[in-house]
């Protein structure tokens, strides 16, 4: 019991935020990573992990049978569930993917704004470990092992200041990275290249068109980004 108490104290010990200039630099680096075609091809897989994790979590919460997750080298992914092909559970599961990165980013922004950097890092490790149990292809296993290993190394070996900056960078990346896939999806839909996208599946499940769900995804992503900015950037700005 004493050991558990020590672990809990370690996880919930708060830290001071980095200086505002460092927070803004982290935001700029994340924005460049999302905006650059080259870096986006490399880093987009992290958004896919969050996307498929969102599908999987909501499937479990709505009591659908979760059969597995696949992550592919082209940064696409798929979450396989079994249950009623229609109804609230299927609708909520389909809704969850595109909003998951942004909502995770917003939750992470709240945690680090309160100083819970270590708690955030270990929460990410737990989520990745749970996803690893559901992965059904080799590339997906490698993706999660590499990502989880990097987060573990950061939480275990890096100095507190480095952990703090990396946590801000990761949260900014989720907030910015939650927006771009939605824009990409709409461009593909205009060209008829995404007939089975989440938005189009939702259109077939409900009376609303796919464009409505694109707008919904985008509103959630933009609202999460605005909330993240409010949480992460001290006002009035101070470069002390």
What is the CA angle 72-147-156, rounded to 5?
Answer: 170
Residue 12 lies in a domain: no
How many structural domains is the chain composed of? 1
> Mean pLDDT throughout 80-100?
95
According to the model, what pLDDT value does residue 52 have? 97
**Which single residue is written with the structure tokens 């737990």?**
126
Chain centroid to CA 205 = 25
Residue 237 lies in a domain: no
Q: Which residues on neighbouring strands pair with residue 81, listed in sequence order?
A: 66
How far is 59 from 39, CA to CA, in rounded Å?
A: 31
Q: H helices then E strands: how many in the chain?
A: 10, 2
Tokens at 112, concatenated: 């680090």
Using one digit for the tens of pLDDT, what is the confidence trace for 140-154?
999 999 999 999 999
According to the model, what pLDDT value does residue 236 have? 64
Residue 98 lies in a domain: yes
C-alpha closest to that of 11 among 171, 124, 94: 124
Taking only Cα atoms into account, the Rg of the chain, rounded to an integer number of angstroms, comes to 18
How far is 213 from 216, CA to CA, in rounded Å?
A: 5
According to the model, what pLDDT value does residue 106 have? 98
The dihedral region occupied by 75, where left means phi > 0, alpha psi between -120 and 50, and beta the remainder, is left
Sign of the CA dihedral with 165 first, then 170, 174, and 177 last? positive
- Please, which residues have CB within 8 angstroms of residue 19's CB and are 6 or more apart in sequence? 239, 240
DSSP character at residue 36? S
Give the pairing of strands 77-82 and 65-71.
Answer: antiparallel
Q: Quick check: 98 and 164 in contact, CB under 8 A?
A: no
Strands (E), the chain: 65-71, 77-82
> Mean pLDDT throughout 182-191?
94
Q: Quick check: 77 and 197 in contact, CB under 8 A?
A: no
Using one digit for the tens of pLDDT, what is the confidence trace for 203-229?
999 999 999 999 999 999 999 999 999
Q: Is the pLDDT confidence value at 1 over 90?
A: no
Residue 4 lies in a domain: no
Report percent pLDDT > 70 for the chain: 98
Residue 1 lies in a domain: no
Residue 10 lies in a domain: no
C-alpha closest to that of 59 among 94, 104, 103: 94
> Mean pLDDT throughout 165-187?
97
Report percent pLDDT > 90 for the chain: 88
SS3 147: helix
Using one digit for the tens of pLDDT, what is the confidence trace for 96-129?
999 999 999 999 999 999 999 999 999 999 999 9
238 confidence band (pLDDT: 50, 70, 90)? very low
According to the model, what pLDDT value does residue 11 have? 82
Q: Quick check: 182 and 217 in contact, CB under 8 A?
A: yes
How far is 166 from 240, CA to CA, in rounded Å?
A: 20
- What is the span of the domain harbouring residue 44? 17-232
Instruction: Provide the whole-model pTM.
Output: 0.94
């Amino acid at each position: 019991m004493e050991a558990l108490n020590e672990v809990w104290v370690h996880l919930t010990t708060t830290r001071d935020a980095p200086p505002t200039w460092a927070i803004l630099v982290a935001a700029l680096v994340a924005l460049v990573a999302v905006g650059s075609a080259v870096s986006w091809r490399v880093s987009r897989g992290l958004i896919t992990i969050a996307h498929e994790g969102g599908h999987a979590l909501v499937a479990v919460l709505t009591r659908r049978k979760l059969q597995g997750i696949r992550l592919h080298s082209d940064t696409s992914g798929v979450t396989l569930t079994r249950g009623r092909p229609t109804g609230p559970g299927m609708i909520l599961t389909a809704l969850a993917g595109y909003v998951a990165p942004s909502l995770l980013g917003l939750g992470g922004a709240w945690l680090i704004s309160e100083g819970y950097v270590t708690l955030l890092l270990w929460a990410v490790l737990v989520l990745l470990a749970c996803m690893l149990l559901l992965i059904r292809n080799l590339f997906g296993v490698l993706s999660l092992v590499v990502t989880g290993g990097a987060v573990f190394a950061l939480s275990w070996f890096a100095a507190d200041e480095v952990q703090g900056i990396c946590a801000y960078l990761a949260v900014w990346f989720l907030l910015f990275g939650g927006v771009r896939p939605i824009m990409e999806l709409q461009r593909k839909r205009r060209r008829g290249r995404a007939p089975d996208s989440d938005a189009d599946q939702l259109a077939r499940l409900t009376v609303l068109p796919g464009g409505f769900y694109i707008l919904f995804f985008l509103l959630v992503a933009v609202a999460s980004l605005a909330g993240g900015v409010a949480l992460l950037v001290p006002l009035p700005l101070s470069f002390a």
